[in-house]
Amino acid sequence: MLKPLMNFTGGLAAALLVMSAQATALKQEDISVAEVLRDRALESSDAYSHVESLTVEVGPRRAGTKGDERAVAWAQQKMKDLGFDRVYTEQIDVKRWARGHAHAEVTAPFPQPLVVTSLGYGASTPEGGLTAEIVEFADVDALLKAPARKVKGKIAFINKRMERARTGEGYGPAAAGRSKGMRAAAEKGAAALLLRSVGTDSDRFAHTGMMSVDGVENPVPALALSAPDANLLEAMLKRGKPVQVKLNVHNEALADGPSFNVIGEVVGREKPEEVVIIGAHLDSWDEGTGALDDGAGVAVVMETARLIAELPQRPRRTLRVVLFGAEEIGLVGAKQYVDAHANDLEKIIMVSESDFGAGKIWRFDTRIPESKFAIADQMMQLLAPLGIKRGDNKASGGPDGSVFVAQGVPAMTLHQDGTDYFDYHHTPNDTLDKVDPENLKQNVAAWVVMSFLATEMDGDFGRVSTEH
Amino acid sequence: MLKPLMNFTGGLAAALLVMSAQATALKQEDISVAEVLRDRALESSDAYSHVESLTVEVGPRRAGTKGDERAVAWAQQKMKDLGFDRVYTEQIDVKRWARGHAHAEVTAPFPQPLVVTSLGYGASTPEGGLTAEIVEFADVDALLKAPARKVKGKIAFINKRMERARTGEGYGPAAAGRSKGMRAAAEKGAAALLLRSVGTDSDRFAHTGMMSVDGVENPVPALALSAPDANLLEAMLKRGKPVQVKLNVHNEALADGPSFNVIGEVVGREKPEEVVIIGAHLDSWDEGTGALDDGAGVAVVMETARLIAELPQRPRRTLRVVLFGAEEIGLVGAKQYVDAHANDLEKIIMVSESDFGAGKIWRFDTRIPESKFAIADQMMQLLAPLGIKRGDNKASGGPDGSVFVAQGVPAMTLHQDGTDYFDYHHTPNDTLDKVDPENLKQNVAAWVVMSFLATEMDGDFGRVSTEH
Ligand SMILES: [Zn+2]
Ligand SMILES: [Zn+2]
């Protein structure tokens, strides 16, 4: 069931809502142009070449690293090459961290190496490593409930499997272990945390990702295990003898440093101050080349804007492509963007982000007033032939987009098929070969319909409910 | 077309051939027992538990390592537990080698790390590493033909893709680069060899494997690249600028040491001195747990013998399970077995090896006199319902089995579906989760038919042609 969306920002928004209610439909001529754009996207868009370029010429680009710097330079140059009217950066401040080595091995009763990786911003072992018995928990809640004496001095092993789903809905429950596990382990005096990777594959890759580290007094090493290695520990534990694991980990916390949101605009012909934001995040984790996460999204929104910039005239409003920095380490670029532009947020008509890999789009969600559903319905006329069905009115806007939604900015989400996304997510295996060029064309076709019509529509969506 | 098999070992073998021609069919009562064994295998055989045990309790077991030692102990205990009549080991001598680290990164024009692994028995870089331009070759033949000046001081990059096939027939052409590439690179004064992995996957795993190293005067570091990393180098080279790669590799050649063939017998009731050998190799590469290569084979032949040992009476001849040592580093265990038993080879009625993963068996090849095809036809009556078709009369007997075939020992091969085998072969990703328990049951069902009937048949196959 849809929750009713409520106006909450008072006077100005209420006024906008009244205005916009007067014209709830799109013009036929705009729909015709959108149709042409869509078909051009299907035939000749080339988002694949952008993600190819980013992965080959930059590759890994974790926030605050040299790769991140190169990505920022790459993005600016690419946007200029693609014919954007304005290209600029906005600096953000990021925590920095250097990944060193992470080795793990079972020392008893069945000595063999384990494939692990440090979770983001994780701590080191003492020089020479540490060896301790592992103690298994079904999930992070079981660890949280466990008495400290059961955990103290041991390596807490969270062994929760993630469920595969097109929507990726298994991610949240599994990722709780990643975000909260190390803190729980540290508070109970554990020697370290071993986490079954948050992923759906059964390959020998550990999935990294961000933890909550702020304010943890004595952080302990926190490592993800590949699924086959988690199976191995599980099988050893079933044999009933204590299982000893040796960890040797080195990472370094670094001083804060700069990163950047990279922004490119196709400037509106009539209302240049009114803005439709389409975004993706430029940063990636550091072990893959960030093809799916989020090179594909970067490519889709860039190509969407390129197609619109190639029209004989500029759209009515400004189309702003924002490539957010430091998404992976806590939506840092989006949060600092919203803070820096607090006074301009009302000029943001709509936000949408592409950040769920390179699968086909199958569902169109909105977060707009019900009185404006006619616009979404008209968009659907062009989206339905792409195999997309109408979803709900609880669009998150994507991870970075959700930061805008939290301020009442209307949002749309073009849901991608994420069935395989978490096979690769945050692993060394997130590489270009996982991207299907044909799927990207379908993505761009949908994005260009949504983006173009949002820039052209009469009236706007006002402000929307920030409830989930 | 089948080549006619020729008798080549002179008098004795000719005599055997005449003898055996007198009784070319199997007894109906033996066929009935084989059918019961087959159906028991399908219902209740448990090869999976053996490969689970080997991968969990031992794991990696490269020849000459501690893991290998543990595997030898494991195999003896398991065979005793399974009710074999005799269990023993035969020592072999193996070259030994310690794998250290292997790091590679592009330093220009697009700095990023590469996923690599040292090929077996590979050399180290100088302390601190080496940096050189890469030069690409379509295959090892192109490298062999290249003038030394094109290669000297550079890193030779062999970029040959392996074709996927049920038979695995793409392996040979691609593996030539692995076996011969380092020698060719060294002779032309290259700084190192980078080889696109011999594999069919597109995952971020490099596939290790053996090289020809004997007599190479100045061996150079030799690394396999994962397929996505080979793609990356290829894409960088297409951009037209020199591509510089830094390698930092450390390995150590060690003194020769012992390993073992582990042998278990179900001793024949009538002709104990006549032997049917069913084999697999106990060693594995060191980065995976050797589930497919060759834990599955070990499990299948062990379980086959267990089922036969559970019959109310022993088979006519001896069924000998040989778990060969050091297969991966050059069929060392098989070669030393054949040398040590040169005088007993005529007592080996037939050899067969399971060493192609855990896929379903789909084809039954033989290497027996044509006059004995009736026996194979009768075996086929029980194999066909398992989805197995009759193949040719050029059975290799498997990698280790081929060493016996080269001495004229008759052979049979139960071909497995190897479509996916080279996705995992010689990578860290060769783990238990890749093994389907149901497929193993089908394997055991076929093996038990073939093995039991070979131990029971009247007469034998004499000696066979050693031609391919
Ligand atoms: Zn992402
Ligand atoms: Zn093998």
Q: Regarding beta strands A271-281 and A348-353, do their DSSP bridges make them parallel or antiparallel, or are they unpaired? A: parallel
Q: Do A228 and B433 touch (CB under 8 A)?
A: yes
Q: Do A433 and B202 touch (CB under 8 A)?
A: yes
Which residues on B lie below 8 Å from A52 (Cβ)? 235
Annotate A440-457 with DSSP letters as a single string.
Answer: HHHHHHHHHHHHHHHHH-
Residue A8's pLDDT is 39
Q: Regarding beta strands B222-225 and B116-118, do their DSSP bridges make them parallel or antiparallel, or are they unpaired? A: antiparallel
Instruction: Compute, in angstroms, the gap from residue A331 CA to the centroid of ligand 1.
Output: 10
Which residues on B lie below 8 Å from A227 (Cβ)? 433
Which residues on B lie below 8 Å from A197 (Cβ)? none
Residue B467's pLDDT is 74
Residue B468's pLDDT is 64
Enumerate helices (H) and strands (E) in chain A, giving the number of each. Answer: 14, 14
CB-CB neighbours of A254 under 10 Å: 12
Q: Tell me if residue A288 falls in helix, strand or coil.
A: coil
Q: Which of B112, B236, B432 sits opposite A228 (nearest CB)?
A: B432
Distance, in Å, from the CA atom of A311 to the CA atom of A308, rounded to the nearest integer, reads: 6
Residues 6+ away with beta carbon under 8 Å from A17: A7, A369, A371, A462
Q: Do A203 and B203 touch (CB under 8 A)?
A: yes
Annotate B147-187 with DSSP letters as a single string.
Answer: -HHHHTTSEEEE-PPPPP-TT-TTHHHHHHHHHHHHHHHHH
Q: Do B112 and A289 touch (CB under 8 A)?
A: yes
Q: Which of A111, A429, A432 sits opposite B203 (nearest CB)?
A: A429
Q: What is the mean pLDDT of each run of 10 residues along chain A (468 residues)?
A: 38 43 75 98 96 98 98 98 98 98 98 98 97 98 98 98 97 96 98 98 98 94 98 98 98 98 98 98 98 98 98 98 98 98 97 98 97 96 98 97 98 98 98 98 98 96 86
ipTM of the assembly? 0.93
What mean pLDDT do residues B450-459 have?
97
Strand partners, A359: none
Residue B24's pLDDT is 59
Residue A466's pLDDT is 84
Q: In the CATH scheme, what architecture does the domain A25-85+267-456 have?
A: 3-Layer(aba) Sandwich (3.40)
Residue B466's pLDDT is 84
Instruction: Write down the residue that tokens 């190169």 correspond to.
Output: A70
Distance, in Å, from the CA atom of B465 to the CA atom of B370, rounded to the nearest integer, reads: 12
Write out residues 271-290 of B within 8 Å (CB-CB) of A.
288-289
Residue B316's pLDDT is 98
Residue A24's pLDDT is 60
Task: Read off the pLDDT of residues B94-130 as tens digits, 9 standing for 90 and up.
Answer: 999 999 999 999 999 999 999 999 999 999 999 999 9
Task: Read off the pLDDT of residues B170-190 as tens digits, 9 standing for 90 and up.
Answer: 999 999 999 999 999 999 999
Q: Which of A112, A427, A433 sits opposite B231 (nearest CB)?
A: A433
Which residues on A lie below 8 Å from B66 (Cβ)? 111
What mean pLDDT do residues B149-173 have?
97
| A83 touches A310 (CB < 8 A) | yes
Domain boundaries, chain A: 25-85+267-456, 100-254
Instruction: Write down the residue that tokens 């190479």 correspond to.
Output: B216
Task: Read off the pLDDT of residues B388-428 as tens digits, 9 standing for 90 and up.
Answer: 999 999 999 999 999 999 999 999 999 999 999 999 999 99
Residue A255's pLDDT is 97
What mean pLDDT do residues B451-458 have?
97
Distance, in Å, from the CA atom of A126 to the CA atom of A70, rounded to the nearest integer, reads: 33
Mutation site, A204, A207, A286, A289, interface B, largest B CB count within 10 A: A204
Strand partners, B194: B157, B223
Smallest Cα distance from B246 to chain A, Å? 16
Q: Do B112 and A205 touch (CB under 8 A)?
A: no
Instruction: Write down the residue that tokens 């799927």 correspond to.
Output: A439
Which residues on B lie below 8 Å from A112 (Cβ)? 58-60, 67, 289
Nearest CA in chain A to B74: A110
Residue B6's pLDDT is 39
Write out residues 221-240 of B within 8 Å (CB-CB) of A.
227-228, 231-232, 235-236, 239
Q: In the CATH scheme, what architecture does the domain B100-254 have?
A: 3-Layer(bba) Sandwich (3.50)
B29 at interface of A, judged by CB pairs closer than 8 A = no
Residue A172's pLDDT is 95
Nearest CA in chain B to A110: B57
* pLDDT of B1 strictly over 60: no
Q: Three-state SS string across B350-413, please?
A: EEEECCCCCCCEEEEEEECCHHHHHHHHHHHHHHHHHCCEECCCCCCCCHHHHHHHCCCCCEEE
| A239 touches A109 (CB < 8 A) | yes
Ranges of H-type helices in A45-138: 47-57, 66-81
A113 at interface of B, judged by CB pairs closer than 8 A = yes
CB burial string A160-169: b at 16+ within 10 A, e below:
bbbebeeebe
Q: Do A113 and B60 touch (CB under 8 A)?
A: yes
Closest listed ligand to the CA of A401: 1
Residue A14's pLDDT is 43
